[in-house]
Amino acid sequence: MGRARDRETRGVVSVTLADSSPLVTLEQLERAARGLDGIAVRTPLLFVDALSERFPSGVWVKPEMLQRTGAFKFRGAYTFLSSMLPADRARGVIAPSSGNHGQAVAYAARMYGVPCTVVMPTTVTAAKRAGAERYGATVILAGVTTLERLAKADELALLSGAIVVPPYDHPLIIAGQGTLGLEIMNDLPDVGTVIVPVGGGGLSSGVAAAVKLRNPNVRVVGIEPAGARKLSAARAAGQPVTLEHSSGLPDGLLGVRIGTQNFAHLERFCDEVVQVEDGAIRCAMRFLLDRLKLVAEPSGAITIAALMEGLVVPSGPTVVVLSGGNIEWPGLVALIADPLPAI
């Protein structure tokens, strides 16, 4: 694979982001895209012929399971690491993660030849833990919530001097993930609706910002698990709030609190948010495998589930973001075993 390119002298946003505003700008998003050019996979838009009769304006999917490490997270992780000073990066990095962020940071750290520690929940899937370890990370298990992982990561950083790479609540992460939205706008300029999953808010806030800054008339819909309504709760309260608990199949979306900076972006750029039950996600996973030959983890399939369930009524050509596909074979088989309902 070779070592990653150093970009500190090429005008990339610094970690301090001294020139930043509370919301990322189109210039920052485009800068992140230039930094990822030739590094990240530019995933295609795939037309979903199986849904063309039901949705005549057309449905396309953005399959980030084809991205490096099997999920969108590589975009933000590499953007963050590439923007660090070499001396800081050499101290090593720590990633608090339910799975995909940790794998992405581990991969980017390997590209730069620096040590990486990933703090994962005790409930992490075997596929996601093995992925981080395969990319050379040291995995430490801590608790079951995002807040517990963040606390452990901070503790390790104080002891080791390594730098914590935030999973979502940071402008560099938002800008990196938002490059996905720029690609959508470049590939389908007349898009009318973009559907994106909502976890901590890194992907959804970045994509929403990129789409709306390019064309404010595009409708952006966020999708969250019915058992983890963190964005809905934050919108009702007017600020991020911590859920007492969360549950559901999409483990990558089960954080109990939306990021502060992510919430600010979503309040500005996301038109609505809807919730999806686990049963619909299982059907969507089976649909993607049967009809598109794409393996999606539950967090990745939740968006197409919302569309298929009629929870989102498209306005014009619609792009559905499939955020990732990191699921182990036994888990996939168990989730798609039921017969597929008629579409």
Question: Structure tokens of 48?
Answer: 């979903």
Active site residue 323: yes
Catalytic residue among 73, 128, 152, 230: 73
Q: What is the DSSP string of 140-168?
A: EE--SSHHHHHHHHHHHHHHH-PEE--SS
Task: Tell me whether residue 189 is exposed, middle or buried, using C-beta atoms within 10 angstroms of its C-beta: 0 to 12, 13 to 18, 19 or more.
Answer: exposed
| 88 phi-psi bin (left φ>0, alpha ψ -120 to 50, beta other) | alpha
Catalytic residue among 83, 98, 246, 323: 323
Q: What is the DSSP string of 52-111?
A: TTT-TT-EEEEEGGGSGGGBTHHHHHHHHHHTS-HHHHTT-EEEE-SSHHHHHHHHHHHH
Report the C-alpha gap between 214 and 4 in whole angstroms: 29
Q: How far apart are the first and last CA of the chain?
A: 41
Active site residue 73: yes
CB atoms within 10 A of CB 122: 9
**Taking each helix axis from N to C terminus, what angle separates 26-36 and 73-82, rounded to the nearest 10 degrees?**
90
Q: Which residue has the tokens 């990558």?
A: 252
- Could you give the residue numbers annotated as active site? 73, 323
